[in-house]
């Protein structure tokens, strides 16, 4: 264990500032920052055990990905990244904290689900991690358990208006869970799509012989995302609870969130890189290739991308997470050949998020500080991890990324580290790349070599959402 590390000569970027500063790391935490070239910073160089030269690089907080599904059961299979491979890939991509979804199985307790996810992840992770809980069975017992979970640091709960028979909750169940969270400080995360109506459209499409992946996008209509977003916002108002809408993909759903926020409600929105960079054109790729892009909410026509970028600029959307839920094309996505509704829903991305959002900076869509805000600081605040995570400040964990803003890369499954046999961004050229990553002061990526290990990552019990008034 190295005692004092000095990260020297870089441009330190947080959600608040951009400063040419040296960063002193001691015992896994940020000890101090000082202007590069100042007498204080120069004296640190003499006593440091290790100096990392960040000249020409950005020094940014490690990314916080608040939405992943590792080893996740779906559609008769499991997502192809487990906690070891998924957290390693996250590290390669400059993410040093992720919040994964523990799943309550129907008929079982929340405790049971959480224990299962601890067993899957314990001693496996390369980076720090925390859990949300998926509620699949809201009843008297599980409602009581919510209080216990909040008290032990699982402070957010995902509910679904989609996937009838799997994760779906009806409006009464959603209202009850929201009432409980209004009391205990938990945050309800909503997968907002009208799953009952979607299932009717799925049945009708299949009966007409429409079996290709592109019909996944067609039946999961924009209006059905907007309707469920509107409805669950109203339920949250009735309960007096905050609401975080996950994986927003449609402009019309975003408009519902913006309207609620304009009223001053505690309603928050998340989108994901796939909705910013990919579209229904990908779902329509021939020879079943469109299956690679099947996720829910679905990819939308290109026009929606502009609206989502705008939402990120105007703070109608606050967070970009990946919803990383990879399934291999061979053997997993193929389960849906001849019936798009059997394609496991989900896409890889945990390794690509920081770079894709940096591309938004390169293309002038967001500022550098906004990049860090939506990818690091706000997710940490939203889910009770700030300022331990999400920033560079004295006392914070020394989760740091040395980022080369001018490096050129071409995204490919040949070179990525996620355990999945394709990349939805295959061949995409990006400017900027992660060079070195520290997690609590330990080098886990050293000049593009993985130096971390499974078991370094610690489970973090979380506080409650830090945006509530
Ligand atoms: O397609 C997706 N998003 N799969 C993962 C489950 C979910 O709804 O987030
Ligand atoms: Zn979802
Ligand atoms: Zn998800």
Q: Which two tokens stand for residue 383?
A: 């889910």
- Measured CA to CA, the distance from residue 398 to residue 12 in angstroms comes to 13
Residue nearest ligand 1's atom 7 by CA: 296
Return the ligand number nearest the Cα of 68: 3
Ligand 1 binding pocket includes 324 (Cβ within 6 Å)? no
Residue nearest ligand 1's atom 4 by CA: 346
- CA-to-CA separations, 175 to 21, 150, 178, 241, 411, in angstroms, rounded: 48, 18, 5, 9, 43
What angle do helix axes 195-207 and 222-239 make, rounded to 10 degrees? Answer: 160
Handedness of CA 74, 75, 77, 80 (dihedral sign): negative
Q: Are 93 and 433 in contact (CB under 8 A)?
A: no
Return the ligand number nearest the Cα of 325: 1
Ligand 1 binding pocket includes 346 (Cβ within 6 Å)? yes
Residue nearest ligand 1's atom 8 by CA: 296
- Measured CA to CA, the distance from residue 423 to residue 439 in angstroms comes to 26
Ligand 3 center–CA 314 separation, angstroms: 24
Ligand 1 binding pocket includes 79 (Cβ within 6 Å)? no
What angle do helix axes 222-239 and 251-262 make, rounded to 10 degrees? Answer: 20
What is the CA angle 129-244-171, rounded to 5? 120
Strands lying side by side in the sheet with 187-191 = 63-68, 95-103, 128-134, 156-160, 187-191, 243-245, 267-271, 319-320
Each residue's pLDDT tens digit, 223-248: 999 999 999 999 999 999 999 999 99
Ligand 1 binding pocket includes 191 (Cβ within 6 Å)? yes
Ligand 1 center–CA 374 separation, angstroms: 20
pTM above 0.85, yes or no: yes
Residue nearest ligand 1's atom 5 by CA: 346
Ligand 1 binding pocket includes 216 (Cβ within 6 Å)? no
What is the full per-residue pLDDT of the chain (469 aa) written as tens digits? 668 999 999 999 999 999 999 999 999 999 999 999 999 999 999 999 999 999 999 999 999 999 999 999 999 999 999 999 999 999 999 999 999 999 999 999 999 999 999 999 999 999 999 999 999 999 999 999 999 999 999 999 999 999 999 999 999 999 999 999 999 999 999 999 999 999 999 999 999 999 999 999 999 999 999 999 999 999 999 999 999 999 999 999 999 999 999 999 999 999 999 999 999 999 999 999 999 999 999 999 999 999 999 999 999 999 999 999 999 999 999 999 999 999 999 999 999 999 999 999 999 999 999 999 999 999 999 999 999 999 999 999 999 999 999 999 999 999 999 999 999 999 999 999 999 999 999 999 999 999 999 999 999 999 999 998 6
Ligand 1 binding pocket includes 370 (Cβ within 6 Å)? no
Count the Cβ atoms, other than its own, within 10 Å of residue 63.
34
**Mutation test residue for ligand 1: of 326, 345, 350, the one with most atoms within 8 Å of CB:** 345
DSSP assignment of 76-142, as one string? TEE-S--HHHHHHHHHHTTEEEEEEEEEPPTTS-HHHHHHHHHHHHTTT-SSEEEEEEE-S---HHH
Distant-in-sequence, close-in-space partners of 37: CB < 8 Å, separation ≥ 6: none
Ligand 1 center–CA 272 separation, angstroms: 11
Q: Are 193 and 296 in contact (CB under 8 A)?
A: yes
Return the ligand number nearest the Cα of 74: 1
Ligand 1 center–CA 271 separation, angstroms: 12
Ligand 1 center–CA 210 separation, angstroms: 22
Ligand 1 binding pocket includes 325 (Cβ within 6 Å)? yes
3-state SS, residue 411: coil
Ligand 1 binding pocket includes 245 (Cβ within 6 Å)? no
For residue 417, give the nearest of 452, 461, 467, 366 by alpha carbon. 452
Please report where in the chains the tokens 């929606």 appear, as a residue: 304
Return the ligand number nearest the Cα of 101: 3
- Measured CA to CA, the distance from residue 363 to residue 56 in angstroms comes to 20
What is the atom index within ligand 1 of the atom nearest the CA of 294?
1
Ligand 1 center–CA 53 separation, angstroms: 40
Each residue's pLDDT tens digit, 348-363: 999 999 999 999 999 9
3-state SS, residue 208: coil
- Measured CA to CA, the distance from residue 23 to residue 398 in angstroms comes to 9
């Amino acid at each position: 264990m190295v005692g004092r590390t000095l990260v020297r000569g870089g441009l330190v970027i947080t959600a608040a500032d951009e400063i040419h500063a040296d960063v002193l790391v001691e015992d896994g935490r940020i000890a101090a920052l000082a202007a590069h070239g100042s007498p204080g910073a120069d004296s640190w160089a003499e006593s440091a055990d290790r100096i990392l030269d960040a000249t020409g690089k950005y020094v940014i907080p490690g990314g916080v990905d608040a939405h992943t599904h590792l080893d996740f059961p779906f559609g008769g299979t499991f997502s192809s990244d487990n906690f070891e491979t998924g957290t390693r890939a996250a590290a390669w991509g400059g993410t040093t904290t992720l919040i994964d979804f523990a799943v309550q199985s129907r008929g079982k307790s929340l405790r049971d689900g959480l224990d299962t996810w601890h067993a899957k992840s314990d001693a496996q992770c390369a980076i720090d991690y925390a859990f949300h809980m998926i509620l699949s069975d809201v009843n008297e017992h599980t409602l009581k358990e919510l209080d216990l979970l909040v008290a032990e640091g699982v402070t957010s709960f995902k509910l679904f208006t989609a996937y009838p028979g799997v994760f779906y909750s009806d409006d009464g169940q959603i209202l009850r869970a929201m009432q409980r969270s209004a009391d205990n400080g938990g945050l309800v995360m909503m997968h907002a799509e009208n799953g009952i109506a979607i299932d009717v459209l799925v049945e009708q499409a299949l009966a007409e012989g429409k079996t290709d992946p592109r019909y996944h996008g067609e039946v999961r209509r924009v209006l059905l995302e907007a309707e469920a977003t509107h409805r669950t916002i109203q339920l949250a108002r009735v309960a007096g609870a905050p609401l975080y809408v996950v994986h927003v993909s449609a402009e019309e759903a975003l408009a519902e969130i913006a309207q609620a926020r304009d009223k001053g409600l505690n309603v928050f929105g998340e989108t994901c890189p796939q909705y910013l960079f990919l579209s229904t054109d990908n779902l329509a790729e021939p020879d079943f290739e469109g299956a690679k892009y099947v996720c829910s909410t679905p990819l939308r026509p290109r026009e929606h991308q502009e609206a989502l970028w705008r939402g990120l600029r105007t703070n109608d959307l606050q967070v970009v997470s990946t919803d990383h839920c990879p399934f291999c094309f061979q053997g997993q996505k193929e389960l849906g050949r001849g019936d798009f509704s059997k394609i496991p829903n989900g896409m890889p991305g945990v390794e690509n998020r920081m770079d894709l959002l940096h591309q938004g900076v390169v293309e002038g869509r967001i500022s550098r500080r906004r990049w860090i805000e939506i990818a690091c600081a706000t997710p940490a605040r939203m889910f009770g991890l700030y300022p331990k995570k999400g920033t560079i400040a004295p006392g914070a964990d020394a989760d740091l990324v040395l980022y080369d803003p001018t490096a050129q890369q071409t995204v490919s499954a040949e070179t990525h580290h996620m355990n999945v046999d394709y990349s939805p961004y295959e061949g995409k050229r990006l400017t900027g790349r992660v060079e070195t990553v520290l997690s609590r002061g330990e080098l886990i990526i050293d000049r593009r070599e993985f130096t971390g290990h499974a078991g370094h990552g610690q489970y973090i019990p979380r506080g409650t959402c830090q945006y509530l008034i």
